[in-house]
A and B are shown apart, each in its own frame.
Chain A
Amino acid sequence: MTMLLPAVVTATGLHAATDVVPASEVVPGPFLAAPFLVLLPLLGAAVLLLAGRRSDRWGAWFGVATSAAAFVVGAVVFVAMLGLPADERVVDYRLFDWIVSGGLDLAVGLRVDPLSMTFVLLVTFVGTLIHVYAVAYMAHDRDRRRFFAYLNLFVAAMLILVLADSYLLLFVGWEGVGLASYLLIGFWNHNRAYAVAAKKAFVMNRVGDIGLIVALMLLFATFGALDFTTVFAAVPEASTALLTATGLALLVAACGKSAQFPLQAWLGDAMAGPTPVSALIHAATMVTAGVYLVVRSAPIFEGAPTAQLVVVIVGAVTLLFGAIVGCAKDDIKKALAASTMSQIGYMILAAGLGPIGYAFAIFHLVTHGFFKAGMFLGAGSVMHGMDDGVDMRRFGGLARYMKVTWITFMAGWLAILGIPPFSGFWSKDKIIEAAFVPVDGQAWRAWVFGGVALLGAGITAFYMSRLFFMTFSGRRRWNDGSGSADGLGPQDGPVQHPHESPRLMTWPMIVLAVGSVALGGILAAGSRFVTWLEPVTGHAEHHEPVLPVWSLIALTLLLVLAGAALAWRQYAMSSVPVRAPRGSVLTRAARRDLYQDDVNEAVFMRPGQYLTRSLVYADKEMVDGGWMGLAGLVGRVGEWLRGWQNGYVRSYGATMLGGLVVVVAVVLALTTGTAS
């Protein structure tokens, strides 16, 4: 703890500067436990899957135990890391040789440094809470054990991803979380729509994976190695063009995994999975893997300013995209998904800004993990109380019936809005501030991206408040079975009995709410979080944004409050129609995810299917046809030859005599030629 200097708490964060620390091969004692971070959840998954139905009774708690054990190990390593001086915190822990071939010499190892430990703590802590939540949420599901097996599998894969010391091992984890996501989204795959949603998620992830594979190929071709140490050391020698290409490929991968434009269409459909899945994977952890990738590959991006610009653009576009879509969604989970998409857009935007943005991207990632997971769990609690209904137009006035849910959700809501002193304020405002900083003296970028971030904050406030008010405030829009004609709620629809969720569900929500409230302040104090990440991200010199910092804060708050107020007026004060009104062009477009699915289908799906059909046709008709035609030709020639066998001795005799005559004639010709 000696290195956490009580520095001046300013928005810019003056601190003791340590630059990027090279990885050391020396593994301090407690770090040796690091492999267990992966092994424990992996063991949990294996046991639960292999034991089968026999483990149904204790399977859920076993899964919770392995996840909690992983958190304990992570905490141990974290504490040990805190005990080390900052320049000793980046450790490459080599485990064993993996690929030993002529061109590539790769070992499996773990990169234990502040960045990976941040993720480790986030994943295991939030993950364990969600495991506990799921014990109660999935209590009536007969496949609950399998659910926990997959959750453990996910945790193991995510930890491989963040702890990997090479791009290839990261890819292993990358694929692993993709697999776990597929399995979990399609958990209730007896419902065809859910299975299709899982497939869609997987396929779009795959498109992103191509980017990662291309990046791997480029790195291997250029540097001949795939581990972070070698690659980052050799980056200064590579050409900008190559780095740009690699950076763009990595960006494609990040877009796929983090549901950024243009690969964001799967996230909404992914809400088909059980709510704990949405909370853990599609809010807190898996979708943040893209941000991790970009931040981890910082040296590459810093050598390619064009790629960085593209990253920022993608982040900005997604930010607005998600916000607009979120305004029109009536499904509570889909609205939260759009919000996730938008917030990750913020993170990507920050990551693309360069050294000044990395730490804030991760900071926002951590706080977002808490408050978004908390809100998802709250949504799950609401659904649990409303008989698994998700249509917010059928909610309303639930605050009275679900107090704990209401309070914890409120904490998350305020955090995401960025109201001080909630955690979101600390992280998001930093991002907006960094966005307004002119990079390389290009002021237009500051204005454009800063403005976009600011606008996004306002829209976020609007739609998140809309969500909150539609659900908890206002009049009840559901049937309470009272048959009363007080005109308050419609008397049609199923009878609902909203109630608070059991303790196993509410306690995790409470913990996360506490995090949503306090974590931001704790981490921002003394810029300790930025300092903590410095061995990885490097020290960023402070630059002044184009607008003064205080004005930015004020402007942000203004927009946020305006948005919230608008939502209050429209959804809390007025009556919300139960059937969605037609809405404006933009509303209808937003309901259809701004036509992203239609574009995807028209541009990719149909031509792809047409291409496949043509290839099948070509294969069948031309290739197969060619070979079969050849076979048929041979057969026909054989048949023709067979006709010569007419069985008559005299024909055969004629053939023999003919041959004889020919032979003798030839011999005669030859001998008369030579001997005459």
Chain B
Amino acid sequence: MELTHYVVLAAILFSIGAATVLLRRNAIIVFMGVELMLNATNLAFVTFARMHGDVTGQVLAFFVMVVAAAEVVVGLAIIVSIFRTRRSASVDDVNLLKS
């Protein structure tokens, strides 16, 4: 088993996360897809850190985690406030850009 397998796994997880974003309507599930994508990236970072023998990759993954956490906080707050006003958690309902 090579280290590249980790990266392949990361790629697969990333794609699944991306597909989730595209295919699901519930905002929270879409968010979870985004989280999955970020985690996949983290896995890739960690693998590369191991490959290059440099912990910088792990530091970057660390940063990604922090930022993802902040993002989740804000994103969920938005979802909650939207839900309060519109009683709906579907991303399809925020279509005011429709022309």
Contact = CB atoms under 8 A, between A and B. Distances in A.
Direct contact of A and B (CB under 8 A): yes
Contacts of B94: 647, 649
A653 B21 contact: yes
A661 to B, nearest CB: 10
Contacts of B91: 648-650
Interface size class for chain B? 10 to 19
Interface in A652-670: 653-654, 657
A192 interface: no
Interface string B1-36: 000000000000000001001110100001000000
Centre residue among A642, A645, A647, A654 by max chain B CB count within 10 A: A647
A676 interface: no
B73 interface: no
B18 A646 contact: no
B99 to A, nearest CB: 4
B14 to A, nearest CB: 11
A647 B95 contact: yes
Interface string A93-137: 000000000000000000000000000000000000000000000
B19 to A, nearest CB: 9
B99 A642 contact: yes
A651 to B, nearest CB: 9
Contacts of A646: 95, 98
A5 B30 CA distance: 122
B99 A650 contact: no
A650 B22 contact: yes
Contacts of B99: 642, 645, 647
B71 interface: no
B70 interface: no
A398 B23 CA distance: 111
Nearest to A654: B22
Contacts of B30: 650
B91 to A, nearest CB: 5
A645 B98 CA distance: 6
Nearest to B19: A657
Interface string A558-602: 000000000000000000000000000000000000000000000
Contact of A647 (B18, B22, B25, B97): B97
A646 B98 CA distance: 5
B96 A657 contact: no
B10 to A, nearest CB: 15
Contacts of A657: 18, 22
B96 A647 contact: yes
Nearest to B18: A657
Interface residues of A, number: 10
A645 B99 CA distance: 6
A650 B23 CA distance: 7
Contacts of B22: 650, 653-654, 657
Nearest to A645: B99
A50 B49 CA distance: 98
Interface string A415-440: 00000000000000000000000000
A28 B64 CA distance: 106
A650 B91 CA distance: 8
A653 B94 CA distance: 14
Nearest to A639: B99
Interface string B61-99: 000000000000000000000000000000110111111
B95 to A, nearest CB: 3
Contacts of B96: 647
Contacts of A649: 91-92, 94-95
A642 B97 CA distance: 11
A648 B21 contact: no
B56 to A, nearest CB: 24
Nearest to A657: B18
A638 to B, nearest CB: 10
Given A657-B18, A657-B22, A650 B98 contact: no
A179 to B, nearest CB: 60
Contacts of B18: 657
A649 to B, nearest CB: 5
A15 to B, nearest CB: 97
Contacts of B98: 645-648
B62 to A, nearest CB: 25
Nearest to B95: A647
A423 B95 CA distance: 101
Contacts of A647: 94-99
A73 B98 CA distance: 86
A653 B23 CA distance: 10
A654 B24 CA distance: 12
A650 B94 CA distance: 10
Nearest to A660: B18
Nearest to A642: B99
A654 B97 CA distance: 16
Nearest to A646: B98
B8 to A, nearest CB: 15
A653 B34 CA distance: 12
A650 B97 contact: no
Centre residue among A642, A647, A649, A657 by max chain B CB count within 10 A: A649
A658 to B, nearest CB: 10
Interface string A72-106: 00000000000000000000000000000000000
A657 B23 CA distance: 12
Interface string A617-650: 0000000000000000000000000100111111
B37 to A, nearest CB: 11
Given A649-B92, A650-B21, A657-B22, 4 more contacts: A645-B99, A648-B92, A654-B22, A657-B18
10 contacts: A647-B94, A648-B92, A648-B95, A648-B98, A649-B91, A649-B94, A649-B95, A650-B30, A650-B92, A654-B22
Question: Top 3 nearest A-B pairs by Cβ distance?
Answer: A647-B98, A647-B95, A645-B99
